[in-house]
């Protein structure tokens, strides 16, 4: 393999941004396939590859999903004590982001890929590994999109509406929705949100 310039690669990784507004350019299917193919090169525990990707292609299905998730979001925000106006603003924004994104992918963990343990601690550790595997695939997907001049954002909403997402998309019970990734050509690249310094997050022992 040709030697890649490491400084350029570091710069490339550091310049990936979460982008929430996209221009109207569609994403070619071949581009999406390349991104997915790179995403599944992520490492996984025991090479189990428990990641599952649900690409929301059908606009009606997507709108129905956004409405159903909005219903649940409204309920949660109201219970949290937000004003009715604030609730509606947030629900509308979430609906629009889900329906407007050129590409929307639900990232799931296939729990059937996990191992069975009869003690809770190891069962939890194994479940956490499945989530870690899927997260690595999702992170790789965002970098692969960046390589294509696309940008995207990891959206946690499906984690808070798992039963609704499963139901609306007809997913098997053992597919656990963990996130939605929205992708497209960026309308504008935002500034990098500040990072904590290494001294705050690294401990040498
Ligand atoms: C697990 C996870 C959940 C996130 N959930 C959301 C979300 O629901 N909505 C959103 O707009 N951004 C979400 N983000 C994006 C973060 O806000 C973003 O990564 C962070 O602000 C740093 O910005 P950057 O990605 O541009 O470096 C999420 C990111 C992660 C890793």
CA-nearest residue for atom 25, ligand 1, is 18
Copy the structure tokens of residue 67.
């409405």
154 lines ligand 1 (CB under 6 A): yes
Q: What pLDDT shows up at residue 4?
A: 84
In a domain? residue 193:
no
Q: Closest Cα to atom 30, ligand 1: which residue?
A: 154
Give 4-25 pLDDT, tens digit per residue: 899 999 999 999 999 999 999 9
First to last CA, the chain: 36
Determine, yes or no, domain membership for 183: yes
In angstroms, the CA 123 to CA 108 distance is 18
Question: Cβ atoms within 10 A of the Cβ of 110, count?
Answer: 19
Q: Give me the chain's average pLDDT, please.
A: 97
Residue nearest to atom 17 of ligand 1 (CA): 18
- Domain containing 175 equals 19-54+103-187
Q: Is residue 36 part of a domain?
A: yes
Instruction: Give the span between the Cα atoms of 133 and 175, in whole angstroms.
Output: 14
The reported pLDDT for the residue numbered 2 is 75
**Cβ of 193 less than 6 Å from ligand 1:** yes
In-domain check, residue 29: yes
Pair of tokens at residue 46? 């025991």
Say if 83 falls within a structural domain. Answer: no
Q: How many Å is the Cα radius of gyration of the chain? A: 18
| Cβ contact 182:97 at 8 Å | yes
47: left (phi over 0), alpha (psi -120 to 50) or beta: left
For the stretch 56-115, pLDDT in tens is 999 999 999 999 999 999 999 999 999 999 999 999 999 999 999 999 999 999 999 999
- Provide the β-strand partners of residue 177: 108
Mean pLDDT value across residues 180-187: 98
Domain assignment of residue 8, yes or no = no
How far apart are alpha carbons 186 and 77 in whole angstroms? 29
pLDDT at position 178 over 90: yes
Contact 191 CB / ligand 1 (< 6 Å):
no
pLDDT > 90? residue 195: yes
pTM of the model: 0.96
CB atoms within 10 A of CB 36: 16
In a domain, 60, yes or no: no
- Across the range 189-203, mean pLDDT stands at 97
Helix (H) / strand (E) element for 178: namely strand 175-184
Number of domains in the chain: 1
Helices (H), 101-197: 120-147, 162-169
**CATH code where residue 170 lies:** 3.40.109.10
Query: Binning pLDDT at 50, 70 and 90, where does residue 3 land?
Result: confident
Please report whether residue 148 resides in a domain.
Answer: yes
pLDDT at res. 197:
98
């Amino acid at each position: 393999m040709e030697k890649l310039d490491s400084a350029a690669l570091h710069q490339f990784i550091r310049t990936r941004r979460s982008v929430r507004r996209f221009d109207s350019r569609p994403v070619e299917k071949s581009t999406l396939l390349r991104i997915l193919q790179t995403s599944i090169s992520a490492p996984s525990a025991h090479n189990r590859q428990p990641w599952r990707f649900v690409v929301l292609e059908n606009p009606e299905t997507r709108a129905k999903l956004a409405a159903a998730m909005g219903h649940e979001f409204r309920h949660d925000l109201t219970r949290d004590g937000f004003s009715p106006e604030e609730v509606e603003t947030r629900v509308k924004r979430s609906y629009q982001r889900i329906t407007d994104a050129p590409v929307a992918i639900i990232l799931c963990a296939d729990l059937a890929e996990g191992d069975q343990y009869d003690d809770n601690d190891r069962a939890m550790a194994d479940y956490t590994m499945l989530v870690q595997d899927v997260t690595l695939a999702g992170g790789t997907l965002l970098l692969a999109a960046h390589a294509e001049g696309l940008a995207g954002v990891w959206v946690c909403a499906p984690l808070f509406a798992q039963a609704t997402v499963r139901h609306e998309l007809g997913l098997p019970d053992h597919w656990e929705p963990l996130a939605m990734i929205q992708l497209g050509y960026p309308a504008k690249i935002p500034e990098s949100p500040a990072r904590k310094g290494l001294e705050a997050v690294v401990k040498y022992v």
